[in-house]
Structure 1
Amino acid sequence: MSLVEKAKKAAAYNAVDENFPANAKVVGIGSGSTVVYVAERIGQLANKESFVCIPTGFQSKQLIIDNGLKLGTIEQYPSLDIAFDGADEVDSQLNLIKGGGACLFQEKLVASVAKEFVVVADYRKKSPSNLGIQWTQGVPIEIVPNSYATVLKSLYALGAKNAQLRQGGSAKAGPIITDNNNFLIDADFGAIENVAQLHQQIKALVGVVETGLFVGMAKKAYFGEESGEVLVWGA
């Protein structure tokens, strides 16, 4: 295991050990390379039969199953005790960019109904100043398919340097389709000075389902450092 992978594992294990409620009944499990170790650690808990885990997408559903955890849905359990997830970028105020894996709506839905939301990531995801510096692919935005042309035009009007429909690449001809049968736009605004304001401006556009800007939702962020150490931001 490389130093980076060891650091990811240490960050995930620390996040679970320090934050998992003793009497948790419903737990959100996100996606990403660091969350793999979160699911692994939760799967080692002696009381894992006493709580249900809610996925944020296909990968996290498989992580829950593979680690012998009880699988539930957000429809069954619309209130969570805690949720763990990764991030594409985190600033010092614990604002996030998420959606690189195309699951941003379900990730935000799960995080929004959790009493506590804890982020786990590696050192490459932290940005002490502004969002949009480390993650330069753009803010992921989930949209209703037939609105893409008008939303793209509006994003440029809001100051986007570049905005484009995310394509499926060699694996799929045409745009990526989300779990909710929507399209995704990636819009690069450069360094984002006011995350909350930009989120509200984008969310107000007709056709936008949700943005990958997570504002004031995370309580803590655990980063696996290149040195193998773990850095914690937040309370």
Structure 2
Amino acid sequence: MLVLRGFLQPRPSSHLVSIANKLVTAKTFRRASSTTNKNMGDKGDKTNKIALDEAKKLAARTAVDEWITEDTKIVGIGSGSTIVFAVQRIAERVWKEGALCDLICVPTSFQARQLILDYNLNLGDLDRNPIIDIAIDGADEVDSRMVLIKGGGGCLLQEKIVASCAKHLIVIADYTKRSLRLGEQWCKGIPIEVTPIAHVPIKLKIEALFGGEATLRMALAKAGPIITDSGNFLLDWRFVAKREFDWDEVNRALMMIPGVVETGLFVDNAHKCYFGMADGTVKVQNR
């Protein structure tokens, strides 16, 4: 069995590893330049700050080690850049430490599915694994009441479905995703997945109900709008940031609009949030 594991150890795509290394190198270079080049006149914080990727890695590894144990049988794998580090840590424990061999991973997106396959982890689905022990996912923003904005990557529907099947949803993020109130850090709006036929009426109804502006998310490398994994469109609702909202009521009202499939508001979903901080520590936020 040990010999077999040696052959089956994950071999992530070389181009993904290359891109990741370039990103980390570039960020490290920029960080070093900002602290050593005194001619730039930087009078900001003198505290040494770690790169965002390192902050994400700290949060991911801490959460995985605390929540995924020998008793964990099914884990939901979220989407986004921070999740890559969580899957890497799970793979380390499976292949290097010989633990969690029977762990089944249920993906929330095509990206998550590919990560699971790239690292030779056990791929599952909700048909055979409808009850999930732990779901680990990222967030675009987390406020002081643990309300999340998710869906910046367009996977909100499947993310919320998997989260709803999990006994606990554990969120991992870097320090830039932590806010007192929604809209302080994330300025791209709340993603709302809609049926294509209804995107214009839905846009007008959202703006009439709550103000702000709802815009159709357009693709960058193709003509036309973004298409989600479920074949729908995405509206990004840029709400009035300084206005007070009861996000539970807003979410319910949005879901009552015909044609709205799901929203990127995650209210009372997350159990704990792990933030990798700029000083190299991990801050834990409870609901």
Normalised by the length of structure 2, the TM-score is 0.78
C-alpha separation between the residues in 1 aligned to 2:222 and 2:128? 33
2:154 is aligned with what amino acid?
A: A
Aligned residue in 1 for 2:182: 131
Aligned residue in 2 for 1:38: 86
Q: Percent identity?
A: 48
From 132, 137, 145, the counterpart of 2:196: 145
C-alpha separation between the residues in 1 aligned to 2:209 and 2:233? 20
How far 1:116 moved relative to its partner?
A: 0.7
Is residue 8 from structure 1 mapped to residue 56 from structure 2 by the alignment?
yes
How far 1:160 moved relative to its partner?
A: 3.0
- Secondary structure at the aligned position of 2:211 is classed as coil
Aligned residue in 1 for 2:165: 113
- Secondary structure at the aligned position of 1:115 is classed as strand
From 225, 228, 235, the counterpart of 2:280: 228
C-alpha separation between the residues in 2 aligned to 1:47 and 1:75? 25
C-alpha separation between the residues in 2 aligned to 1:54 and 1:17? 18
Structure 1's consecutive aligned runs of 4 or more residues displaced over 3 angstroms after TM superposition are: none
How far 1:48 moved relative to its partner?
A: 3.0
C-alpha separation between the residues in 1 aligned to 2:205 and 2:127? 33
How far 1:155 moved relative to its partner?
A: 0.6
User: 1:159-178 counterparts in 2 under 5 A?
Assistant: 159-169=210-220, 171-178=221-228
Q: Which of these two proteins has the greater Rg computed from alpha carbons?
A: 2
Superposed CA offset, 1:79-138 (max 9, x none): 10000000000011111000000000000000111001100001110112x112211111
Aligned residue in 2 for 1:51: 103
- Secondary structure at the aligned position of 1:101 is classed as coil
C-alpha separation between the residues in 2 aligned to 1:87 and 1:208? 21
User: 1:85-124 counterparts in 2 under 5 A?
Assistant: 85-124=137-176
Query: Is the Cα contact below 8 Å between 2:69 and 2:100 reproduced in 1?
Result: no
Please state which structure has a larger fraction of its residues in helix: 2
2:112 is aligned with what amino acid?
A: S
Aligned residue in 2 for 1:186: 236
Query: Is the Cα contact below 8 Å between 1:26 and 1:82 reproduced in 2?
Result: yes
Normalised by the length of structure 1, the TM-score is 0.95
C-alpha separation between the residues in 2 aligned to 1:214 and 1:12? 20
Give the unaligned 5+ runs of structure 1.
none
C-alpha separation between the residues in 2 aligned to 1:145 and 1:172? 17
From 120, 125, 135, the counterpart of 1:68: 120
Task: Please identify, of 98-107 and 44-53, the stretch whose mean Cα deviation from structure 2 is larger.
Answer: 44-53
C-alpha separation between the residues in 2 aligned to 1:41 and 1:35? 10
Query: Is the Cα contact below 8 Å between 1:160 and 1:187 reproduced in 2?
Result: no
- Secondary structure at the aligned position of 2:159 is classed as helix
C-alpha separation between the residues in 2 aligned to 1:197 and 1:133? 20
Superposed CA offset, 1:140-179 (max 9, x none): 000011001110110111123111111012x010110000
Q: How many residues are matched?
A: 233
Query: Is the Cα contact below 8 Å between 1:48 and 1:69 reproduced in 2?
Result: no
Give the unaligned 5+ runs of structure 2.
1-23, 29-49
C-alpha separation between the residues in 1 aligned to 2:194 and 2:69? 35
C-alpha separation between the residues in 2 aligned to 1:8 and 1:173? 33
How far 1:21 moved relative to its partner?
A: 3.7
Query: Is the Cα contact below 8 Å between 1:28 and 1:53 reproduced in 2?
Result: yes
